[in-house]
Amino acid sequence: MKLAMIGFGQAGGKIVDRFLDYDDRTNSGIVRAAIAVNSAKADLMGLENIPQENRVLIGQARVKGHGVGADNELGAAVAEEDIDEVQNAIDAIPTHEVDAFLVVAGLGGGTGSGGAPVLAKHLKRIFTIPVYGLGVLPGTDEGGIYTLNAARSFQTFVHEVDNLLVFDNDSWRQTGESVEGGYDQINEEIVRRFGILFGAGEVGDGQEVAESVVDSSEIINTLSGGGVSTVGFASEEVELNTGGGLLSRFTGDDGGSDNLDAANTTNRITSLVRKAALGRLTLPCEIEGTERALLVLSGPSEYLNRKGIERGRKWLEEETGSMEVRGGDFPRQEPEVAAAILLSGVTNVPRIKRLQQVAIEAQENIDDIQQESEDNLESLVEDDEDELEPLF
Ligand SMILES: Nc1nc2c(ncn2[C@@H]2O[C@H](COP(=O)(O)OP(=O)(O)OP(=O)(O)O)[C@@H](O)[C@H]2O)c(=O)[nH]1
């Protein structure tokens, strides 16, 4: 699947920059165009792979290239005001060669959390191809303003995009990795998981064609219907068949089920699928109740077989209760077999419920504060009237 990626804010820009690097390393061919948008000049300068002409500085008139300082209303305002600057960069990319847009942003800061939903809305108005979001939730230890920004931005972003893929920094911190120190690792995890999914249907020069291809329409169908998505992943190292012929015996041309090696291959795939679905998801949730899913098995073709994928797909249907589980293989000459699972339209997500609660409480607080200040104002006026009375 070919994507036009737009990174909004610091986290968004860094992740898209990393996707370009991944694309280059793995010859995946998924990033057809990459743009970074930010209100902080230094963040744009720190990028390594996104071409200079695709780095768009917004809000100069207001914040002079210094960022919006986690003020997401200001982030949204500067995005609205300078949307033409972003559009100019988009005009220069061959959008007719692109299957979808992916707008990437950290939802805890100001620029990305405020600007990404504004851009998504703009893109949907102009283009007919899908517009997806990749939203990064902040660590819960980052402080109230980040949580509040994320709560607000999430609500708007999910509404503006065709599907919101979510990565929760917090779920990685909880296992002992610090968020601040670990962005490099976290970003690598993000591009690997989403890279395998989006790369599944792209066949580069000299690459093998899959036995059961996952083309871009299957990814689009899995994401259609909107809502929130999460991605599971598991991998296992294997030896590459470089000597020729040895591993081809593993599955055999007949692919017969009584062949022990074929059975091993099938078992390896089904256990990887379970690990991927029940292990750490990009956004932790209950997988039961997922509306649609897509399973991609990648690795050297001699380690992939249709039977294993079919079993994994069936198991996912049972676990999720979804009747729309798609699956396919993605042959790659890498020394690992990996299962990537896209769970789309997940509903039972404790982290999102907590975020929504925060947004509601903040709203109530705002109402209380407003009510309090109105009461104060009235009593002041009354006091004033009391004081004024004797004068008249
Ligand atoms: N996964 C990941 N998250 C990041 C990274 N950098 C920042 N974040 C997260 O993104 C949030 C902050 O968003 P940024 O992108 O830094 O902020 P911004 O959109 O540039 O907005 P301002 O700095 O307020 O102008 C934080 O809550 C972090 O959790 C990164 O490289 N990777």
Domain ranges across the chain: 3-199, 216-344, 350-391
Q: How many CA atoms lie within 13 A of 286 on its CB side?
A: 8
DSSP string, 103-131: EEEESSSSHHHHHHHHHHHHHHHH-SS-E
**ipTM beyond 0.90?**
yes
Looking at ligand 1, which atom is closest to the CA of residue 114? 19
**Residue 318: exposure state from Cβ atoms within 10 A (0-12, 13-18, ≥19):** exposed
Residue 174: what pLDDT?
52
- CA–CA dist 108, 125 (Å, integer): 26
Residue 263: what pLDDT?
87
Residue 157: what pLDDT?
98
Residue 365: what pLDDT?
75
Residue ranges in the chain modelled with pLDDT below 50: 244-260, 381, 383-392
Residue 247: what pLDDT?
44
Q: Which CATH architecture has domain 216-344?
A: 2-Layer Sandwich (3.30)
Tell whether residue 13 is among the known ligand binding residues. Answer: yes
Ligand 1 pocket (Cβ < 6 Å) reads 9-11, 14, 38-40, 67-70, 106, 108-112, 136, 138-139, 142, 146, 169, 179, 183, 186-187
- CA–CA dist 114, 158 (Å, integer): 13
Tell whether residue 259 is among the known ligand binding residues. Answer: no
- CA–CA dist 285, 166 (Å, integer): 11
- CA–CA dist 274, 292 (Å, integer): 17
Tell whether residue 110 is among the known ligand binding residues. Answer: yes
Q: Which CATH superfamily is domain 3-199 in?
A: Tubulin/FtsZ, GTPase domain (3.40.50.1440)
How does pLDDT run across 191-205, given as a tens digit for each residue? Answer: 999 999 999 877 666
